[in-house]
Structure 1
Amino acid sequence: MSSTILITGASSGIGRDTALYYAKQGWQVYALARSADKLAQLQALFPEQIVPVVVDLTDSAALQHWQQQLDSVIKFDQVLLNAGNCEYVEASALDLAAFERTFELNVLAVVSCTKLLLPRLTAGGTLAIVSSMAHFFPFTRAEAYGASKAAISYFADSLRLDLADSGIRVCLIEPGFIDTPLTQKNDFSMPFLMPAEQAAARIFNGLHAGKLRLRFPRRLAYLLKTLNLLPYNLRCKLAAKMKQT
């Protein structure tokens, strides 16, 4: 019997490339996203391996309905909660709606998926949650996005602690800049930009190795960790200077 993974946000970016990577390895992939057309295109590449699931993750009732309709014998060896979005805001006129949309998908939808899918994980299965390195260092206009990723990273680490005796492994994935439709909207330099296909391979290999945390590209992780070692006042001054460049 082949192994089975569920991936959210599978219609584009990291989710899509990871779904393809797993399918190439012979896994059964449940690909969740809102776009029926994009999921159909994805399934056409591996019709035997990929099962498309059209659902809005921010609609907890719809997600619960799908989960309840799913055959009770279906279990997942891995669940990858990858779906997320980024909206930049202006400090002079903070857009509360942007914060609400960002936290709804990046945080609340992850918690909702976790609640519904934990019982579907096999014994010894892995729950992987995608956050971001964005919360390592203050970046301009990233108040909503960075705060949401800080929240979900803490959620994953705390959840791991409380599931320690359950046999479920929780892996926190904190990527840097990955070349996806989301980052292609950015109008600033993105150091160490990594192709999504490479990110997918890092995720597959890391989860297979039983890692509890994945950070890539490593060079960016080392750089941001080094910046965090600076005295707080100096760190703030450096962040302000970076904003001006």
Structure 2
Amino acid sequence: MTSTCLITGASSGIGRELALHYAANGWTVYAVARSADKLDELSKNAGIHALPLDLTDNTALQSTALNMLEQGVVLDLLLLNAGTCEYVDAYDLNLAAFERTFAINFHAVVAATKYFMPLLKASLAPQLAIVSSMVHFFPFTRSQAYGASKAAVSYFTDSLRVDLAGSGISVHLIEPGFVDTPLTQKNDFSMPFLVSVGDAAERIYSGLLRGKSRIRFPRRLSVMLKLLSMLPYNLRNSVATRMKQQ
């Protein structure tokens, strides 16, 4: 029997690569993104179905989920990957940037969980996987909006796992480091231990296949950030400030 997944943020980057990876491994993939043109191109690959959708539109999100439920679609994996990043100026905080970032990085994750989770219930081994980031381990310059949104996502996912224990739905938190995607290619700073999008997709795929509750990569960056986070608070702040100045 063919397994089925729904992947958000599938028009580019990690989401697109994951859609291709799952389809190549025999899954039926519902690829979700706002860009209909990019999804149409992606859906030329066998096993991938385009699902153009604005995840910040709760009405459209609910309607799409209900239609799929009425059609008898059963998801074995709901993989919420869509995200964005905007850097801000601490001396003139852009409130609209915060609203946009939280809208897609956090509020859309909560809404997608609410409306698509019923599609998991009929699966024999349902998985809910949510992509966050390691950015919230350490205070990086200009990352107030992005880092805060990802901290919220990680907490939401861990808390959700507690309350869904015993439901049959396994909850998985994915916290990548720097991945070479169109989003990170806009960065104007050094990105240590950068991994390719293909490598990232393989790590996520294999981690979920093994049922890992938390998938972090690359390991070297994870260890480095964890060590930095363990520094005495004032020393950690000094290190973060020096890193900003480099």
Question: Which TM bucket (shorter chain)?
Answer: over 0.9
What is the identity, as a one-letter code, of the residue corresponding to 1:61? T
Using the TM superposition, give the Cα deviation of residue 66 of structure 1 relative to its aligned residue in structure 2, in angstroms: 1.1
Residue 194 of structure 1 aligns to a residue whose secondary structure is: coil
**Cα distance in 2 between the residues matched to 1:217 and 1:146:** 18
Q: Which runs of 4+ in 1 moved over 6 A?
A: none
Using the TM superposition, give the Cα deviation of residue 73 of structure 1 relative to its aligned residue in structure 2, in angstroms: 1.6
Using the TM superposition, give the Cα deviation of residue 69 of structure 1 relative to its aligned residue in structure 2, in angstroms: 1.6
Residue 93 of structure 1 aligns to a residue whose secondary structure is: coil
**Under a length normalisation based on structure 2, what TM-score does the superposition of the two structures give?**
0.97
Using the TM superposition, give the Cα deviation of residue 169 of structure 1 relative to its aligned residue in structure 2, in angstroms: 0.4
Using the TM superposition, give the Cα deviation of residue 193 of structure 1 relative to its aligned residue in structure 2, in angstroms: 0.4
Name stretches of at least 5 consecutive residues in structure 1 with no aligned partner: none
Q: Where does residue 192 of structure 1 map in the other structure?
A: 193
**Cα distance in 1 between the residues matched to 2:216 and 2:198:** 15
Q: Where does residue 79 of structure 2 map in the other structure?
A: 80
**Cα distance in 2 between the residues matched to 1:21 and 1:66:** 24
**Cα distance in 1 between the residues matched to 2:219 and 2:20:** 23
Q: Where does residue 239 of structure 2 map in the other structure?
A: 238
**Under a length normalisation based on structure 1, what TM-score does the superposition of the two structures give?**
0.98
Q: Which of 58, 63, 66 pairs up with 1:65? A: 63
Structure with higher strand content? 1
| Percent identity (aligned) | 63
1:174 and 2:175 are equivalent in the alignment: yes
**Cα distance in 1 between the residues matched to 2:225 and 2:114:** 32
What is the identity, as a one-letter code, of the residue corresponding to 2:175? E
Q: Where does residue 17 of structure 1 map in the other structure?
A: 17
Using the TM superposition, give the Cα deviation of residue 68 of structure 1 relative to its aligned residue in structure 2, in angstroms: 1.6
Name stretches of at least 5 consecutive residues in structure 2 with no aligned partner: none
Q: Where does residue 101 of structure 1 map in the other structure?
A: 100
- Structure 1, residues 57-86: CA drift from partner, whole Å, max 9, x if none? 000101111112224421110010000000
CA contact (8 A) 1:123 1:168 kept: no
Matched residue pairs, number? 243
**Cα distance in 1 between the residues matched to 2:128 and 2:64:** 19
